[in-house]
Chains A and B, each alone.
Chain A
Amino acid sequence: MSEGSIEARVQRSLYAARRWHPAEIMFWLLAVAAFFLLPRQLLILNEIAILGLFAVSLDLILGYAGIVSLGHAAFFGFGAYAAGLFAKHASADPLAGLAVGMGAAGLLGLLTSPLILRGSDLTRLMVTLGVALILGELANSLGWLTGGADGLQGIMMGSVLGLFEFDIFGKVAYLYSLAVLFVLFVLARRIVGSPFGLSLRAIRDNPLRASASGVPLHWRLVAVYTLAAAYAGAAGALLAQTTQFVSLDVLAFHRSADLMLVLIIGGAGYLYGGLIGAVAFKLLQDVIASFTPQYWMFWIGLFLVLFVLGGRELIHGGIKAVVGRVARLGRRSPT
């Protein structure tokens, strides 16, 4: 076999990882179709899109770089408050507010990243949890700024791009969140397929070999933590803007814990896990809450236990089978 053909095969292999799979295109078409097919569910669809974006953020650090976090809500909440305050006091423009939310959360990520560079998973869990708790308490006590336990009220959002006014049915809200999710998702997809993304996987797989391969671990982790924080901030900003309200709940512990659950359901390390997990989690929540509104956490807990103990392979196997079938359809259809 000649050298040239090996080169071509290397290129093909590297390309395969970033090629758009038919199942992916289907996924996004379904997300758009949902707007037309489920006109009365747009508010929950909006929540799913936001949770999905938040989960993509966690996947960037957990699935790709191997950083566990029990306090990812810190960035979500910080972004939500930043966007809310910006809308209230500076400008009602949604995209500017989104940028502010991302920037603020990204900065917080950058500043707190030294805390997660060293230590074991347990240390990281505790440190991230601690940061989120501190922020939650700050938001609670700085009532003059955040509205404290009453929440940040009086946010009036302007129209998206000066064209689309937010409405009570959540039409614009869902499309706005979905568009932001899509753009940031495509960006994340590109990043994880870059040399930088490959080095993150190297760090996750084996830090010792990564450093012996010339990867500067600390700088890469700082970079991805900052990026993920900005993503979480974007999700928080979307929530603040589309609900025109920010409560202390955005920083609550359960938000970080739920997020972990979302990513475990969907699977970490391939970006779509966060989105699939978000859909599954919200549907589960909705279904269970409809027959037992008070005790739905009980069922979620039971589901989690069963899922982690054995159902995960089953469900992920099922997803893979479906994806494979779609792929075969996609391959057959052009001919």
Chain B
Amino acid sequence: MSVALQTFDLCKSFGGITATDHVDFTLAKGARHALIGPNGAGKTTFVNLLTGVLRPSSGRVELKGEDITAVSREARVGRGLARTFQINQLFGTMTPVEMIALVTSERLGRGRQLLRALDRDAELVAETAEILARFRLDDIMDERIATLPYGKQRQIEIAAAFAAKPSVLLLDEPAAGVPEAERRELMAMVAGLPEDVSVLLIEHDMDLVFRFATRITVLVNGHVLAEGDPDEVARDPAVRAAYLGEHAHG
């Protein structure tokens, strides 16, 4: 098994609270992996440690075998680690064309060009068009993002992360708040991502998780409670007690 992303004994505490507790986690290359856990289990903290928004108290993060613990967030994107956000983080005044062009231009290392016109850059134009087509954003590509319906914005959220051509893609509750009807289309898009992209899905919705993931990690109180394929996890008594059981009551 080839490894895409790995953590070693990763810890993060805020004052007296341990949000991430000695986590050893492995994301295989090409994985469709889900990270689940009840509210406050430390999922978001974990993602923030992986992407460099937070620095760990101790432990190590490796991307494709290279230690990236001390690497800045933007440099991690350059190395192939992209993410979406649980709450939309978009460029509201831009159009989808501009937003995807921005991500593409940074990936192609164009960001330091002060005088080049965007539309004269054939590679930039071609790759921007490809992303817009893949995520079916071409019909709304000239609308201001802030004025688009929520479901479309969620799509742009994923498209923008994918435009960075990541080898590892972290999806933080991609379907959160999306109406049921659009949810299917959105998850079909996620399922249709190229196989060589390793995907870690952080999700609340068990339906989505069990439909999408071939491997599941359960996080409770900052530590890994269980890990395995969906059947194993579903059968695990500790998981049922800590999470699924509690979920069923709610």
Q: CB within 8 Å of B: which residues of A?
A: 1, 3, 6-7, 9-15, 17-18, 190-191, 193-199, 201-202, 205-206, 208-217, 220
Contact = CB atoms under 8 A, between A and B. Distances in A.
A194 B117 contact: yes
B118 A215 contact: no
Contacts of B92: 205-206
Which secondary structure dominates where chain B touches chain A?
Answer: helix
B74 A14 contact: no
Q: Which of B83, B107, B119, B130 has the most chain A CB atoms inside 10 A of its CB?
A: B119
B175 interface: no
Contact of A201 (B85, B91, B106, B115): B91
Given A11-B119, A191-B114, A205-B91, 6 more contacts: A194-B117, A195-B102, A202-B102, A212-B161, A215-B106, A216-B72
B74 A214 contact: yes
Of the four ranges (under 10, 10 to 19, 20 to 34, 35 or more), the interface on chain B belongs to 35 or more
A208 B89 contact: yes
A212 B110 contact: no
Contact of B118 (A3, A6, A198, A210): A198
Contacts, number: 144
Interface in B107-126: 107, 110-119, 121, 124-126
Contact of B74 (A191, A197, A216): A216
B73 interface: yes
Contacts of A213: 74, 77, 102-103, 106, 160, 164
B51 interface: yes
Contacts of A196: 111-114
B160 A195 contact: no
Contacts of A13: 95, 97-98, 141-142
A209 B98 CA distance: 14
A212 B117 contact: no
Contacts of A206: 89-92
B167 interface: no
11 contacts: A10-B129, A193-B118, A194-B116, A195-B105, A202-B94, A202-B99, A205-B91, A211-B77, A212-B51, A213-B106, A213-B160
Contact of A14 (B83, B107, B115, B119): B119
Nearest to A187: B115
B73 A14 contact: no
A220 B98 CA distance: 18
Q: Which of B90, B112, B160, B161 has the most chain A CB atoms inside 10 A of its CB?
A: B112
Contacts of A12: 119
Contacts of B117: 14-15, 18, 190, 193-194
A7 B126 contact: yes
A211 B132 contact: no
Contacts of A17: 98, 118
A217 B89 CA distance: 16
Contacts of B118: 14, 17-18, 193-195, 198
B30 interface: no
Interface string B142-158: 10000000000000000
Nearest to B157: A209
A212 B82 contact: yes
A206 B112 CA distance: 19
Given A10-B97, A196-B113, A209-B91, A1 B138 contact: yes
A191 B116 CA distance: 8
A4 to B, nearest CB: 9
B141 A209 contact: no
Contacts of A18: 117-119
Contacts of B130: 3
B20 interface: no
B206 interface: no
